[in-house]
Amino acid sequence: MTATKACDSASTAPESSANDNIQPFYLLHKASTPRNSGRKSAAARTIDLSPSKPSSSTTTTNPQFDPHKAFQSVWSRIDSAIKDVLRDVNTNVFNEIHSWVRQSFLAVTSSGVPTFAEATKSFPILNHATSKQLFTGLVLIKNMEFVDDLLTFEELGLFLKSHACHVANLSSLDLSTKNGVGGCLRSLLRQFLTVTLDAVDISILASWYREYGNPNSPVIIIVEDMERCSRSVLSDFILMLSEWVVKIPMILIMGVTTLDAPKTVLPSHVLQQLCPSKFTLGSPAERMDAVVEAALVRWCSGFSIGHKVAVFLRNYFLNHDGTLASFIRALKIACAQHFSIEPLSSVLGLLAEEDSEDERVLALSSGMAAQIDSNLASCLTELKRSQKCWGIVVMCLYKAGKYSKVQLLDLLCEALDPDIYKSIASDTRTRSGKGFEISSSSNHSMAQQYLRKDGPISQAIEKVRDLPASPLSQLLKSWENLTVDILEINVKVKELQPMIKLEEGKSLKQDFTDLAKRHTSRTAANIKESKTINEKAATLLANLVRDFMRPIECIPFHEIACFKDVEKLQSALTGDPRRRIQVDLLEFHEFLRCKCCSRSCNIPLQSMPDTSIMYTLAQEHGDLINLHDWFQSFKTIVMNPSSKCRRKGKQSSFPKKRKETNEHENKSESSLQARLCRAVTELQITGLIRMPSKRRPDFVQRVAFGL
Partner 1 sequence: MGKEESPQIERRSTRHSSATISKNEAGTKSNEPLPPTVNDLFYGEEEKPISLDDVVSSFPGRRIQIIELMRVLGPVNCPMVPLFIYGDSSTGKTSITLQIFRHLNRPFVYSSCLTCYSPRILFESILNQLLLHRKSMANSYLSAKRCERPSDFVNFLREALISITSNLQGNSGKSGSKKLDRRASGNMIYLIFDNLERVREWDKSSIMLPFLLNLYDILKMPEVGLIFISNTSPDTYYSSMGYAEPTPVYFPDYKEDDLRQIFVKNQENKKLYSSFLDVVLKPFYRITRRVDELSTAFSQLYKKYCEPLSDLGVVPNEEMKRRLFSNLQPHIAPSMNEIFKVSSQPSTDIGATKEAKQKSSSKKSGLEVTDQLDLHMSTSAKYLLISAFLASRNPATLDASLFDSTGGSDSRKRKRKPSEKTSEQKEAAEQELLMKGPGTFPLERLLAIFQCITSVAEGSLEEEEQGSDGLRVQVGDNSLMSDVLLQLSSLCNANFIVKGVSCPLEGSTRYRSTICEDMALKVARSLKFPLSKYLYRR
**Which residues inside 172-201 make contact with partner 1, applying CB under 8 A?**
180-182, 189, 193, 195, 197, 199-201
The pairing of strands 304-305 and 274-280 is unpaired
Query: Which H, E and C letters describe 507-556, residue by residue?
Result: HHHHHHHCCCCHHHHCCHHHHHHHHHHHHHHHHHHHHHHHHHCCCHHHCC
228 touches partner 1 (CB under 8 A)? yes
Distance CA 310, CA 414 (A): 9
2 touches partner 1 (CB under 8 A)? yes
Nearer to partner 1, 247 or 384 (CB): 247
130 touches partner 1 (CB under 8 A)? yes
Distance CA 474, CA 454 (A): 24
Nearer to partner 1, 192 or 631 (CB): 192
The HSE-up count of residue 661 (CA atoms within 13 Å, CB side) is 3
Distance CA 639, CA 636 (A): 5
* Minimal distance, residue 298 CB to partner 1, in Å: 22
Residue 277, strand partner residues: 137
Is 672:635 a contact under the CB 8 Å cutoff?
A: yes
Nearer to partner 1, 33 or 122 (CB): 122
Query: Which H, E and C letters describe 449-502, residue by residue?
Result: HHCCCCCHHHHHHHHHHCCCHHHHHHHHHHHHHHHHHCHHHHHHHHHHHHHHHH
* Minimal distance, residue 426 CB to partner 1, in Å: 18
Considering only residues 259-278, where is the footprint of partner 1 by CB under 8 A?
Answer: 259, 261-265, 268-269, 271-272, 274-278
* Number of residues engaging partner 1 in binding (CB under 8 A): 103
CA distances from 256 to 135, 286, 370 (A): 15, 18, 59
Nearer to partner 1, 107 or 499 (CB): 107
502 touches partner 1 (CB under 8 A)? no
Instruction: Report which secondary-structure segment, H or E, holds 254.
Output: strand 250-256
557 touches partner 1 (CB under 8 A)? no
**Cα-based torsion angle of the residue sequence 149, 154, 156, 160 in order, rounded to the nearest 10 degrees:** 170
144 touches partner 1 (CB under 8 A)? yes
Considering only residues 399-438, where is the footprint of partner 1 by CB under 8 A?
Answer: 410, 413-414, 417
Which of 314, 384, 580, 635 binds partner 1 (CB under 8 A)? It is: 314
Nearer to partner 1, 414 or 559 (CB): 414
Which span (155-163, 450-458, 627-635, 648-656) binds partner 1, by CB under 8 A? Answer: 450-458
Which span (66-74, 209-217, 546-554, 633-641) binds partner 1, by CB under 8 A? Answer: 209-217
Which of 174, 224, 227, 355 binds partner 1 (CB under 8 A)? It is: 227
Which span (11-19, 258-266, 423-431, 555-563) binds partner 1, by CB under 8 A? Answer: 258-266
Nearer to partner 1, 376 or 394 (CB): 394
Distance CA 65, CA 58 (A): 9
105 touches partner 1 (CB under 8 A)? no
* Minimal distance, residue 162 CB to partner 1, in Å: 25
* Minimal distance, residue 608 CB to partner 1, in Å: 30
Considering only residues 316-375, where is the footprint of partner 1 by CB under 8 A?
Answer: 317-322
* Minimal distance, residue 307 CB to partner 1, in Å: 9
Distance CA 626, CA 623 (A): 10
* Residue type present at position 364: L
Nearer to partner 1, 3 or 487 (CB): 3
